[in-house]
Amino acid sequence: MIRRTSSRGRSGGGIRLLVALAFAAFAIISYLGSQEFNPVTGENQYVSLTKQQEIQLGLQSVPEMLQQFGPPYSDEDVQNYLDDVGFLLVNNSVAADTGWEWDFTLINNPELINAFALPGGQVFITTALFSEFENEAQLAGVLSHEIVHVLARHSSQQIAKQELTQGLIGAVAIGSEDANAAQVAAVVGQLVNMSYGRDAETQSDLIGVEIMSDTGYDPRAMV
């Protein structure tokens, strides 16, 4: 028996392919159109947010971060000390006059050893990590690393890359009749973003060492 493929099926597949290509093209063009030069890293980078949007995103995220990780530490003297070290690093390095809304917060969390930065300049460190430092230079090393995440606009880069990945995953889902195709594409996208994350951490270490040196701290103390 000879089976014939209906013209409707062929037409439907063609339309799906065209829509998928349009989705993919839009995602790629949007990504490539977001390129900016970053004078701190000396690289062209793809960012999906303006500097002001990054600042607003960071400020809006502060309450959620405090709810998730813990309240600010109540000892004002310790918080002032953290501010002193943080702004010493900012004001005497490439971070000076960059326009970010810098703020350094010590989170009262004695169990979680962690430090992180939000887009725009909000830097957090937990008391669990703070208590591990043997000297001020080690604190400066961690803060320098987080400062670079902001300067290098790693969050905005990550958002742009995720938007590209999601657009391409959507194109695969539209253009393929295989239900597993989009899942495979999603896994590949996650692997790409994980690789980028490692690069960002390395870059933060390298430029962070320069910030420490510019401020007079021993860069060997970065841990």
The pLDDT of residue 78 is above 80? yes
How far apart (Å, rounded) are the C-alpha atoms in residues 149 and 21? Answer: 34
For residue 108, is it within any domain? yes
Q: What number is the average pLDDT over the span 174-201?
A: 53
For residue 150, is it within any domain? yes
Residue with tokens 């169990």: 111
How far apart (Å, rounded) are the C-alpha atoms in residues 16 and 160? Answer: 25
For residue 133, is it within any domain? yes
Contact assessment for residue 165 and residue 6, using Cβ atoms and an 8 Å cutoff: no
Which alpha helices (H) appear in 73-180, and where do they start and end?
A: 76-91, 127-130, 136-151, 154-175
For residue 4, is it within any domain? no
| Domain carrying residue 205 | 12-221
State how far the alpha carbon of 4 is from the alpha carbons of 17, 103, 175, in Å.
21, 68, 22
For residue 5, is it within any domain? no
Contact assessment for residue 130 and residue 85, using Cβ atoms and an 8 Å cutoff: no
pLDDT bucket at 1, cuts 50 / 70 / 90:
very low
For residue 6, is it within any domain? no
For residue 43, is it within any domain? yes
Q: With left for phi above 0 and alpha for psi between -120 and 50, is residue 105 left, alpha or beta?
A: beta
pLDDT bucket at 37, cuts 50 / 70 / 90:
confident
Residues 107-144 have pLDDT tens digits of 999 999 999 999 899 999 999 999 999 999 999 999 99
pTM above 0.75, yes or no: no
Residues 153-172 have pLDDT tens digits of 988 777 767 765 565 555 55
Direct distance between the N- and C-terminal alpha carbons of the chain, in angstroms, rounded to an integer: 72
For residue 115, is it within any domain? yes
User: Could you give the number of structural domains in the chain?
Assistant: 1
